[in-house]
Structure 1
Amino acid sequence: MTEQAPIENNNSPNSAGPKANKPPQTGFFGNLVFNIAVPVLIMSYLSSDEHLGPAWSVVVALAFPLGFGLYDLQKTKKINGFSILGIVSVLLTGGISLLKLPAEYMAIKEASIPAAIGLAVLVTQFTQKPLVKMLILNDQIINWDKLNASLAHHNASAEFNKKVAVSSYIVTASFFLSSALNYGLAKWILVSEPGTTAYTEELGRMTALSYPVIVIPSMVLLITALIYLFKQISRCTGEPIENFLNQ
C-alpha cells in the first residue's frame, strides 16, 4: 500500500471556537422512535382494511422516518451521504411496497444499502480521506490537530495509517455482515403477497427485528474497530488516548 499523508481534520478548531461550528446532533431516542417504533406500530396494527389499509399504512409509516430525516438535514445544516442514503432507502421501501413488487426486490434493496457503504469504506481507504474517519474516528471524538502533531513528532504517521487501514477492513466487514443479514431477514419474513395486510405486517415485523438482528452484531464490529484504533493511537504516540479526546 502506498504511504498516505496524515489524515486531515476538515473542521480545525483554529478557524473558530472549539465547539462553535459543530452542528447539533440527533439523539438516539429520536432515531429509535421515528425510524423504528412508530413505523412498526403503524404497519403492525393499522394495516387492516378497517383502519388505514395495506397501502396507506405503508405511506403513513414511512412518512415518519422520511420526515425525520429531512428534519435532521435541516437542523444540522449539513448534507451527508448517510442522510441521503437513509432517505433514498425509505423512498425505495415505499415504492417497492406500493408497486407490489416481489419480495425479492425488497430483499435486494435491504442488502444493497449497507453493501454500498461497505464498498465506499473499502475504496476510500486508498485515498487521503478514509471514510472510517467519519464513521468511528471523527473530529467530534478526536482532536486531529493534536494527534497529527504527536504522530509527526514520533515519526509514526505512516505506521498509524496502516492501523487505520486495518480498522477500515473491520468496518467494511461490519457493513457486509449487515448486508447479508438484511437480505436473509427479508427473505425469511416477507412471504405474503405484496400489497396485502399480511405483507405490510411482515414489513413492520422486519423493521422491528432489524435492530437486534442486524444493528447489534454490526455495532460489535464497529466498537471493535474503535477500540483497536484507540489502542493503536496510544501505541504510536506513547501517550494515553485521553490526551487526544475532545471534551
Structure 2
Amino acid sequence: MTSPSNSATPDHKPRPWVDLLVSIVIPSVILMKFSGEEYLGNVNALIIGLAFPLSWGLFELIRYHKKNFIAVLGLISVGLTGGIGLLELDAGWLAIKEAAVPAVIGLAVLISTRTRYPLVRTLLYNPSVLDVSKIHQSLEESGSVDEFEERLLKASYFFAATFLFSSIMNYVIARWIVVSPSGTQAFNEELGRMTLVSYPMIAIPSMIMMMLIFYYLWRTIRRLTGYSLEEVMAPHLAEKEKKKSSSGSATEK
C-alpha cells in the first residue's frame, strides 16, 4: 500500500482579489477606523491590522512553498512597519523603510545580472511561462543567442528601474501622508491611508511597467525566432489554452 508523497505541494493559483482584500483593504480599514480608544486602541489596531498581511504571507510561504526573495522581503517589511509603530520610533524611519525594501530588490536584480541566474530569467524567461528549450534551440540555429542575451540584460535593467521608481514613490508618499508621531491614533490612520494610496499610485504603475518589460522580451523572441506566442508558451499553459478553446467551441455548438 503506497501513501501519497508528503513532498507534493498544491498548485498555487493566483487570487488577486483575496490578496488585495487581506493585504490592503482590511488592514487599512482597521487602522483608519478602529484605532480609537473606544474601539481597539492604537496598539491593538496596529497589531491586528498588520497581522492580516503578515499571516497571509506566511500562509502562502508555508502552504505553497513560495520561498522566494521578494516574498521574504515583503514579510520583513510588514514586520518592520509594526516594529516602528510599537517602539514609537520617529515616523521618518517609516519613509526610509518604505524606500529601502524596493531599493534592496532593485539592487538584487542588478547583482543577479552578474550571476548565472538573473532574476528576469527566473521570473519571466523560465520553463513555467515559456518553452525555453524550444526558444533556445531556435536561437542557436539562427546564431542569435548573443543578441538575445544582450536584450535579456536590458530587460534586467528595465526591471531594476521599476523598483527604483517604487522606492522613490514609496518615500515621497510616506513623507507626504505619515506625519504624526508613531504610537498614536493619527499615525495608525495615516498608515492605513498610505497603504490605500500606495496601491493605485505605486503597485499599478509598477505592474504596467513589468507587463511592458515582458512585451519587450516577447517581441525580441518573436523577431529572433519567428515563433508566435502560442508556439512558445510553456507546454502546460498551451494545453490549458487548447482546453479553453475546445470547451468554448463546444459551448457555442
What amino acid sits opposite 1:144 in the alignment?
V
> Residue 23 of structure 1 contacts residue 77 of structure 1 at CA under 8 Å; is this kept in 2?
no
Mapped to 1, the partners of 2:175 and 2:136 lie a distance apart of 46
1:197 matched to 2:197: no
Runs of 5+ unmatched residues, structure 2: 1-7, 238-253
What amino acid sits opposite 2:211 in the alignment?
I
What amino acid sits opposite 1:52 in the alignment?
L
Mapped to 2, the partners of 1:46 and 1:139 lie a distance apart of 46
Q: Summarize the alignment of residues 101-140 of structure 1 with structure 2, pairs less than 5 Å apart.
A: 101-140=89-128
Mapped to 2, the partners of 1:239 and 1:232 lie a distance apart of 11
Which of residues 119, 125, 138 is equivalent to 1:150? 138
What amino acid sits opposite 2:97 in the alignment?
K
Q: Summarize the alignment of residues 24-103 of structure 1 with structure 2, pairs less than 5 Å apart.
A: 24-103=12-91
Runs of 5+ unmatched residues, structure 1: 1-19
Which of residues 183, 186, 194 is equivalent to 2:174? 186
* TM-score, scaled relative to structure 1: 0.88
Which of residues 202, 211, 216 is equivalent to 1:214? 202
> Residue 77 of structure 2 contacts residue 101 of structure 2 at CA under 8 Å; is this kept in 1?
yes
> Residue 111 of structure 1 contacts residue 180 of structure 1 at CA under 8 Å; is this kept in 2?
yes
- Residue in structure 2 matched with residue 176 of structure 1 by the alignment: 164
Mapped to 1, the partners of 2:222 and 2:9 lie a distance apart of 28
What amino acid sits opposite 1:34 in the alignment?
V
Q: Which whole-Å deviations, capped at 9, do the CAs of 1:112-154 have from their partners, x for residues lacking one?
A: 1101111111111122211012333333221112222221222
Q: 1:51 to 1:138 in 2, by over 3 A?
A: farther
- Residue in structure 2 matched with residue 225 of structure 1 by the alignment: 213
What amino acid sits opposite 1:177 in the alignment?
F
What amino acid sits opposite 1:37 in the alignment?
V
Mapped to 2, the partners of 1:137 and 1:97 lie a distance apart of 40
Identity of aligned residues (%): 41
- Report runs of 4+ in structure 1 exceeding 4 Å deviation: none
Q: Which whole-Å deviations, capped at 9, do the CAs of 1:209-244 have from their partners, x for residues lacking one?
A: 110111122122211111100000011112223211
Greater displacement, 121-130 / 45-54: 121-130
Q: 1:184 to 1:123 in 2, by over 3 A?
A: same
Mapped to 2, the partners of 1:139 and 1:183 lie a distance apart of 36
Per-residue deviation, 1:202? 0.2
Mapped to 2, the partners of 1:21 and 1:101 lie a distance apart of 40
Mapped to 1, the partners of 2:26 and 2:44 lie a distance apart of 14
> Residue 25 of structure 1 contacts residue 76 of structure 1 at CA under 8 Å; is this kept in 2?
no
> Residue 43 of structure 2 contacts residue 183 of structure 2 at CA under 8 Å; is this kept in 1?
yes
Per-residue deviation, 1:66? 0.8
* TM-score, scaled relative to structure 2: 0.86
Which of residues 138, 148, 152 is equivalent to 1:160? 148
Mapped to 2, the partners of 1:220 and 1:107 lie a distance apart of 24
> Residue 48 of structure 1 contacts residue 54 of structure 1 at CA under 8 Å; is this kept in 2?
yes
* Structure 1 counterpart SS, 2:13: coil
Corresponding pairs, count: 228
| Larger gyration radius, structure 1 or structure 2 | 2
